Amino acid sequence: MRTWRLAVLACLCAAAAAAPAEAKTHHHTWNITYQYKSPDCFRKLAVTINGESPGPTIRAAQGDTLVVTVHNMLDTENTAIHWHGIRQIGSPWADGTAGVTQCPILPGETFTYRFVVDRPGTYMYHAHYGMQRVAGLDGMLVVSVPDGVAEPFAYDGEHTVLLMDWWHQSVYEQAVGLASVPMVFVGEPQSLLINGRGVFNCSPPAASNGGGAACNAFGGECGWPTLFTASPGKTYRLRIGSLTSLASLSFEIEGHTMTVVEADGYYVTPVVVKNLFIYSGETYSVLVTADQDPSRSYWAASHVVSRDPTKTAPGRAVVRYASAAVDHPRTPPPTGPRWNDTASRVAQSRSFAALPGHVEPPPARPDRVLLLLNTQSKIDNHTKWAINGVSLSFPATPYLVAMKHGLRGEFDQRPPPDSYDHGSLNLSSPPASLAVRHAAYRLALGSVVDVVLQNTAIPPPNGRSETHPWHLHGHDFWVLGYGEGKFVPEVDGPGLNAASARGGAVMKNTVALHPMGWTAVRFRASNPGVWLFHCHLEAHVYMGMGVVFEEGVDVLPRLPASIMGCGRTKGHHY
Amino acid sequence: MRTWRLAVLACLCAAAAAAPAEAKTHHHTWNITYQYKSPDCFRKLAVTINGESPGPTIRAAQGDTLVVTVHNMLDTENTAIHWHGIRQIGSPWADGTAGVTQCPILPGETFTYRFVVDRPGTYMYHAHYGMQRVAGLDGMLVVSVPDGVAEPFAYDGEHTVLLMDWWHQSVYEQAVGLASVPMVFVGEPQSLLINGRGVFNCSPPAASNGGGAACNAFGGECGWPTLFTASPGKTYRLRIGSLTSLASLSFEIEGHTMTVVEADGYYVTPVVVKNLFIYSGETYSVLVTADQDPSRSYWAASHVVSRDPTKTAPGRAVVRYASAAVDHPRTPPPTGPRWNDTASRVAQSRSFAALPGHVEPPPARPDRVLLLLNTQSKIDNHTKWAINGVSLSFPATPYLVAMKHGLRGEFDQRPPPDSYDHGSLNLSSPPASLAVRHAAYRLALGSVVDVVLQNTAIPPPNGRSETHPWHLHGHDFWVLGYGEGKFVPEVDGPGLNAASARGGAVMKNTVALHPMGWTAVRFRASNPGVWLFHCHLEAHVYMGMGVVFEEGVDVLPRLPASIMGCGRTKGHHY
């Protein structure tokens, strides 16, 4: 253990030393309040940053420090903000995951997130507390390469594109339904938003998917799509992120192809696509050249895939050539790809490869393999998602604090299972979920861990297998492969090491688990802290679809008092 | 100070010793959750206790101990529960006032309230955090006299009657309006509830006071009034409490008079009324004899007074004689008294006198006099209520903790003013509110304090003077008098001591400040702790209409860690 401790400290020092001498510190002050918003012409309360939802795009350069001072100005509701894709090396207490890395920020309180953005790329932030993210507390975080460093592609301008889905019900109403017996699902979103703007069809047929509520807001800018301006002949980098609550999306721009060059902060070998499939928690950079008729404008559109899209108004924005006569295209908007064409989505997932020379290759083999089976079934009459039979819940004392301080009574000391009975598994009739627990996998610091996510079908009458985008906090992972049907360790296991050896594995922080398939990733557990790994669909993690990884909490320094105040960490202590 | 300390400790010991030997401990376990409720046939989320709103009526006998274990099972919202009318002698940390006596109870946490109910009487409980009470977290608390002790009146049966007003907007929406620039008032309630049931007129004209929302719930018991059963010839004690958010009420029973025998836990000389005026935070016991035509049922009704009642559906319940053929009366419901007849309400306030031999007379004179002027005006463009220019806000660290632990940076060390310029006061054009502060009055332990509440008119265009029911935590006070217009210390001050000497002053914990009038009370600051004194209208205290009293925090023992966790009380401490 002494050896590890020294090795990790050396590693952290090296990282600090590697930061450019001109690294800057960027200060942001955020007031969190409720505000009425009408992104799709339905007026409802949103949880906002300085009055806005989505919040501002944060920009910094690699090696810079971000200091975000969050004033919770809500009256009775707490908050916590996660910096999605930032590994928080040396600052695990700044990950912003309530129940895991911190106590929530109480009304009237101020919490300061301070962390280094150690890698360039396209990232995001969002509330990570209950289902609060769904109320609109999110935004994008763009980390540029340092001055003087060239990127492996060229572009003339840049736009950020934040994709969301949107409900007219409040998050409280959604959560009550999910927790009810019988469970009442949140249903399909009423609309899709692009940079916080959407279009909801207020006429009665569409309104029937709004709990009976039709549009209740008009005028102003309500219903106007976001406008992206392009100069003819120029090439733009679109930094696209998805923070949908439920929807997997296809994004496209009428009449244009997109060249994917970055995924989750890592360069990929360029791939040209017409439709970019993007799952909640993912980011991509695509290059788009304004090489079409310069006298007009073009639709950008997001569509639901992998779930029935007919109840959801597609997302629409406009790419307007600077020379165009009018803002709005006169063409019909794109209709999107076939929503239930799983094969084309799996193919696109497989099409991405790390750009040679830009991504460290994965270790040759793992020290430990976790086979994680997801199941949806009832526990004490409540519908729950579980992983290897264990449905995750968040303890009153955050895992990080409980583990660092040895509060063994605050979480379940029995580790959840590393595997499941894959021999007898029937994907269409998987075993039942067993228990709701505060459980965590303890990983050896520095060990290499493979995780194979195994999808199943949910019980009848639905019986479908869904797309689950899994997001890992505190690390990036190499994607070793996507498979169909059952993962068979004896057959498919060696293939993972072979894939690793072949090279080209992309690194990501979020990966899709496709319907009735499996997805394998590898990561190095080298970031002391406690980290959530979970389905990024908000309803799913709310119902328990996640696991917690701990590594090296013993080598962490004393935790800041600011993350405490809940569970067993109350007191007079200063 | 040593003398006081000994005196207080002796007093507490004496109180404990006075408890009957057979004192019981009553345990209650409460799960706080959101549930859909349709009390008036409009379906919305309520904050509930074990699924119910209002919550259960708690019963105990004088000297018993109540232990209420509160599990906050909300996802992102905190709570705190105040035991309204219980003085919490020796347990100031159990008063349940977030920001004053405790940190709020976080989601996933459990807080145990433990306190002695030292006086018989009719009390209540409710959330005391933001405007959460308005979401339905409330109920009644009945403390009976010990076995073998006779009350000074007789009755055959008892009913509890909890009066509320009800909005279709959520509390979050209400609060956003109040905090907006310009302020958007919560408006008149849509309906009045009696024991959690109300009647909302779903037809369009009435629905226009529902933000456009008509009834959205039907069937089940929705719309059925509460039924009180009475046997012909018997006399019933109705324990009536009001936890309205805004409305002052008149309560009556068709065809019956009511004899008032208790107010806020103290016996009063019986007063016969047709309409009982009851203000938010007050409780009364009335005796009603079922001496009318036994073949029918009778309406009980609550009506808004002191504000325009026309936008609010009156509250209705039914008193059904056990011998009646049908449940529902065939008579039209009572129409209520004239809502703007202030004089009759002041007269009723003045009509109450302590029952001789049952209420300790007030001290002859005060050690300190506080003249408290309420004003509504703008501070930094926000509409605020203020007392002597100071608008109250709640610090991140509760006053009790900050004061006991000497955290002087957590609240404003400058005491708020004891008085105002009463010489130049124009009630129709009072001075402006000055500042929002975390301020408190420090009272000498054991001192006698007079408070004169002075009402004013709010600014044009409204220009009205409202009824403000003021509630004192931790103490009961003697009501020395109600006056019209300006309180003139030189003229009216001596009258207060005269009233005191005359005897018969009622003791209460909540008293009405009538429009354009003043109300004077006296209390003994003999309960070590920190105590809120505030207008019990939820929107008004939200806008700053309250003050904080501290007395004797130095003689308190170490505070329990369970009340901490917010502000400066975070840490690893066990």
pLDDT at position B221 is: 59
pLDDT the model gives residue A149: 95
pLDDT of A6 strictly over 50: no
Range A22-31 burial, b when 16+ CB lie within 10 A, else e: ebeeeeeebe
Residues of A in contact with B557 (CB under 8 A): none
Put simply, whether B230 touches A (Cβ < 8 Å) is no
What is the nearest CA distance from B542 to chain A, expressed in angstroms?
Answer: 10
pLDDT tens, position by position, B61-120 = 999 999 999 999 999 999 999 999 999 999 999 999 999 999 999 999 999 999 999 999
- pLDDT tens for A116-145 read 999 999 999 999 999 999 999 999 999 999
Task: Assign B190 a pLDDT band (cuts: 50, 70, 90).
Answer: very high
Phi, psi of B490 (to 5 degrees): -65, -35
A420-463: per-residue pLDDT in tens? 999 999 999 999 878 999 999 999 999 999 999 999 999 988 89
Look at B565 and A566 and tell me if their CB atoms are within 8 Å: yes
Q: Which of A326-330, B131-135, B159-163 is predicted with the least confidence, judged by mean pLDDT? A: A326-330
Alpha helices in A352-438 (DSSP H): 399-404
Domains identified in chain A and CATH numbers: 16-144 (2.60.40.420), 157-351 (2.60.40.420), 368-563 (2.60.40.420)
pLDDT category, B219, cuts 50, 70, 90?
Answer: low
Average pLDDT, chain A: 92
CA angle B54, A132, B130 (to 5 degrees): 40
- Ramachandran region of residue B471, left (φ > 0), alpha (ψ -120 to 50) or beta? beta
**Quick one: pLDDT at residue B203?**
53
The answer, yes or no, to whether residue A204 has pLDDT greater than 60, is no
Which pairing describes strands A448-454 and A468-472: parallel, antiparallel, or unpaired? unpaired
ipTM of the complex: 0.93
Rounded to an integer, what distance in angstroms lies between the CA atom of residue B369 and that of residue B378?
27
Residue B14 pLDDT > 70, yes or no? no
Q: What is the pLDDT of residue A212?
A: 43
Residues near A491 by beta carbon (within 8 Å), at least 6 away in sequence = none
Per CB-CB distance under 8 Å, the chain A contacts of B173 are 45
Helices (H), A388-475: 399-404
Q: Does A181 touch chain B (CB under 8 A)?
A: no
The answer to whether residue B21 scores a pLDDT higher than 60 is no
Nearest-CA distance B6 → chain A (Å): 26
Phi-psi region of B563 (alpha: psi -120 to 50; beta: other; left: phi over 0): alpha
| B121–A contact, CB cutoff 8 A | no
Reported confidence tier of residue B2, pLDDT bands at 50, 70, 90: very low
Question: What is the C-alpha separation between A200 and A225, in angstroms, rounded?
Answer: 11
Give residue A573's pLDDT.
52
| Nearest by Cα to A165 from A140, A139, A196, A142 | A196
**For residue B67, what is the enclosing H or E element?**
strand B65-72
Give the pLDDT of residue B573.
Answer: 52
Residue range B426-451, pLDDT digits in tens? 999 999 878 999 999 999 999 999 99
- Give the pLDDT score at B218: 64
Q: What is the pLDDT of residues A47-98, one digit of tens each?
A: 999 999 999 999 999 999 999 999 999 999 999 999 999 999 999 999 999 9
Q: Is the pLDDT of residue B1 over 50?
A: no
* Residue among A173, A561, A565 minimizing CB distance to B566: A565
From the list B36, B130, B570, which residue is nearest A573 (CB)? B570
pLDDT value at B491 more than 70: yes
**Residue A219 pLDDT:** 60
Query: Is the pLDDT confidence value at A327 over 70?
Result: yes
- Structure confidence by residue, pLDDT tens digits, A220-248: 557 788 999 999 999 999 999 999 999 99
Asked if A465 contacts A516 with a C-beta cutoff of 8 angstroms, the reply is yes
Q: Which residue has the higher pLDDT, B216 or A289?
A: A289
Q: Which of A34, A104, A132 sits opposite B106 (nearest CB)?
A: A104
Q: Does B99 touch chain A (CB under 8 A)?
A: yes
Are B176 and A36 within 8 A, CB to CB?
Answer: yes
Q: Per-residue pLDDT for B13 more than 50?
A: no
Tell which phi-psi region holds residue B122, choosing left (phi > 0), alpha (psi between -120 and 50) or beta.
Answer: beta
Q: What's residue A571's pLDDT?
A: 76
Using the beta-carbon criterion (under 8 Å), do B564 and A574 form an inter-chain contact? no
Q: Among partner residues B45, B108, B132, which is closest to A176 by beta-carbon distance?
A: B45
Residue B212 at interface with chain A, using a CB cutoff of 8 Å: yes
Nearest to B77 among A45, A77, A563 (CB): A77
Which segments within B274-367 are labelled E, that is strand? 276-278, 283-289, 297-305, 315-321
Work out the pLDDT band at A209, boundaries 50, 70, 90.
low
User: What strand order describes the sheet that includes A441-443?
Assistant: A441-443, A546-551, A529-535, A468-472, A510-513
Query: Average of pLDDT values for A312-339?
Result: 92
Average pLDDT of the segment spanning A338-360:
97
The three-state secondary structure class of B497 is: helix
What is the rounded CA–CA span in Å between residue B259 and residue B240? Answer: 12
The residue of A93, A572, A573, A574 whose CB has the most chain B CBs within 10 angstroms, and thus the best one to mutate to test that interface, is: A572
CB contact under 8 A, A564 and B574: no
Give the pLDDT confidence score for residue B8 in this predicted structure.
39
Collapsed DSSP state (helix, strand, coil) of residue A433: coil
Choice among A258-262, A378-382, A563-567, A568-572 with the minimum mean pLDDT: A568-572
Which residue of chain A comes nearest to B216, CA vs CA? A212
Q: Is B544's Cβ below 8 Å from some Cβ in A?
A: no
Longest dimension (CA), chain B: 69
Q: In this model, does residue A207 exceed pLDDT 50?
A: no
- Check if A170 contacts B (Cβ < 8 Å): yes
Q: Do A568 and B562 touch (CB under 8 A)?
A: no
Judged by a CB distance cut-off of 8 A, whether residue A109 touches chain B is yes
Nearest Cβ partner for A76 among B108, B130, B396: B130
pLDDT tens, B240-299?
999 999 999 999 999 999 999 999 999 999 999 999 999 999 999 999 999 999 999 999
Q: Which of residues 323-382 of A touch B (CB under 8 A)?
A: none
